[in-house]
């Protein structure tokens, strides 16, 4: 009997100790958030904003968010557009600048990117441009052990150009790319995708560089999250001039008034809230260097749009 009483008292003591430990850990975490704030994700963003409004929405989320710090944005070309009289890169650059103006952001640098795919003289050559030069410069200024995070929402030309301009920077880069399609069950890649086809050689340079940390969200995975038009209208109305600007882009670009995928937003949300996605190591396409890259193979289709709209609503409220 004495042994049983001793065991019971020991179990009660351990249970009480466990409860105290949980309380202490919870308080410490809450205090840590209040004292030090949540960790910010520092990014440079490369966007073909002139092609589709999802890049503009992703840029908006990153610029106004308290969870991200944008070091600069670059304009990505999108190859040949049937109705453009100007270069597609320039159209993206103007859209990036229009967004910064409407958001009243004057301190952020908007860089011009490459106007076309990589060019050749027996081997691929970089397309020298301001954004690629900024990538090289910012990488060289990093502290030891740090990496430069780049969000690639368009072609891979600007990032590949930076690596070709200075081969020594690759190991200091962490690239989050929206590119290609991938079948997680069959483990099959498909490069017949818009961003990939805008510069296949540039994509291969990233895939083949074993020193480059590469995280890919395939477009078919990103597209599983759907954003509803009616919800967008209701939310954007509260944003006054800024909301009208963003809503007009949707209505002028997309032919849908029901729901639509915003792949670039899905990738940004995955960076800010990695618990909303599943990431696993995967081998690149068989024609590329067989090294491990991280691939987002599953997303929370409901919480990604909810997270985005929550951040936009919060921003609009703070502007009132």
pLDDT of res. 76: 97
In 3D space, the residue among 68, 77, 78 whose CA is nearest the CA of residue 108 turns out to be 68
Verify that 162 and 276 share a domain, yes or no: yes
- The pair of structure tokens assigned to 277 is 């996605």
Verify that 252 and 292 share a domain, yes or no: yes
pLDDT of res. 84: 55
Verify that 33 and 90 share a domain, yes or no: no
Q: How would you class 306 by CB atoms within 10 Å of its CB: exposed for 0-12, middle for 13-18, buried for 19 or more?
A: middle
Verify that 22 and 44 share a domain, yes or no: no
Verify that 30 and 171 share a domain, yes or no: no
Verify that 25 and 99 share a domain, yes or no: no
Verify that 296 and 201 share a domain, yes or no: yes
Verify that 176 and 135 share a domain, yes or no: yes
Strands (E), 54-129: 68-75, 110-111, 119-121, 123-125
Whether the per-residue pLDDT at 98 is higher than 60: the answer is: yes
Question: Do residues 50 and 87 touch, judged by C-beta distance below 8 A?
Answer: no
Half-sphere exposure of 155 (CA within 13 A, CB side): 29
Verify that 151 and 296 share a domain, yes or no: yes
Q: What is the DSSP string of 60-72?
A: HHHHH-SSEEEEE
Region 229-234: mean pLDDT is 95
Which residue shows structure tokens 């083949």? 208
Question: Do residues 233 and 26 touch, judged by C-beta distance below 8 A?
Answer: no
pLDDT of res. 30: 37
Higher pLDDT, residue 1 or 257 = 257
Instruction: In whole angstroms, give the CA distance from residue 74 to residue 89.
Output: 9
Which pLDDT band holds residue 39 (cuts at 50, 70, 90)?
Answer: low
Which residue shows structure tokens 């640098």? 109
Verify that 210 and 284 share a domain, yes or no: yes
Percent of the chain with pLDDT over 70: 85
Question: Do residues 225 and 19 touch, judged by C-beta distance below 8 A?
Answer: no
Question: What does the CA dihedral 300, 272, 98, 157 come to, rounded to 10 degrees?
Answer: -90
Region 63-77: mean pLDDT is 96
- Count of residues making up the chain: 320
Segments forming the whole domain that contains residue 13: 1-37
Residues of the chain by 3-state class (helix, strand, coil), percent to 5: 50, 20, 30
Which pLDDT band holds residue 86 (cuts at 50, 70, 90)?
Answer: low
Mean per-residue pLDDT over the chain, rounded: 88
Q: What is the CATH number of the domain that holds 227?
A: 3.90.245.10
B/e letters for 230-243, b = 16+ CB within 10 Å, e = fewer, are eebeebbeebeebb
Residue 246 to residues 2, 230, 293: CA-CA distances in angstroms? 73, 14, 34
Verify that 33 and 97 share a domain, yes or no: no
Verify that 26 and 67 share a domain, yes or no: no
Region 80-93: mean pLDDT is 74
Q: Taking the mean position of all CA atoms in its chain, how far away is CA 117?
A: 22
Question: Do residues 108 and 43 touch, judged by C-beta distance below 8 A?
Answer: no
pLDDT of res. 87: 84
Whether the per-residue pLDDT at 10 is higher than 80: the answer is: no
Question: Do residues 277 and 296 touch, judged by C-beta distance below 8 A?
Answer: yes
Structurally, the chain folds into a number of domains equal to 2
């Amino acid at each position: 009997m004495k042994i049983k009483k001793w065991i019971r008292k020991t179990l009660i003591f351990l249970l009480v100790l466990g409860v105290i430990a949980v309380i202490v850990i919870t308080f410490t975490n809450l205090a840590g958030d209040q004292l030090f704030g949540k960790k910010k994700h520092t990014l440079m963003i490369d966007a073909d904003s002139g092609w589709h409004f999802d890049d503009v929405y992703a840029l908006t989320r990153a610029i106004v968010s308290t969870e991200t710090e944008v070091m600069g944005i670059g304009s990505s070309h999108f190859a040949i557009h049937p109705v453009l009289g100007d270069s597609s890169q320039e159209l993206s650059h103007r859209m990036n600048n229009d967004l910064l103006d409407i958001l009243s952001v004057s301190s952020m640098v908007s860089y011009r990117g490459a106007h076309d795919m990589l060019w050749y003289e027996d081997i691929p050559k970089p397309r020298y441009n301001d954004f690629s030069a900024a990538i090289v410069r910012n990488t060289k200024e990093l502290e030891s052990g740090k990496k430069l995070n780049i969000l690639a929402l368009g072609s891979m030309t600007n990032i590949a150009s930076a690596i070709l301009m200075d081969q020594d920077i690759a190991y200091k880069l962490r690239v989050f790319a929206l590119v290609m399609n991938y079948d997680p069950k069959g483990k099959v890649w498909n490069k017949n995708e818009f961003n990939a086809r805008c510069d296949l050689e540039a994509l291969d340079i990233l895939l083949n560089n074993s020193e480059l940390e590469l995280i890919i969200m395939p477009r078919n995975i990103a597209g599983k999250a759907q954003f509803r038009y009616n919800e967008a209208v209701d939310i954007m109305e509260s944003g006054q001039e800024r909301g009208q600007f963003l809503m007009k882009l949707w209505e002028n670009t997309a032919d849908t008034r029901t729901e639509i995928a915003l792949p670039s937003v899905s990738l940004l949300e995955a960076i800010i809230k990695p618990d909303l996605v599943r990431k696993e190591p995967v081998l690149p396409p068989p024609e590329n260097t067989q090294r491990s890259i991280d691939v987002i193979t599953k997303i929370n289709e409901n919480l990604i749009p909810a997270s985005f709209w929550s951040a936009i609503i919060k921003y609009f409220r703070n502007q009132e």
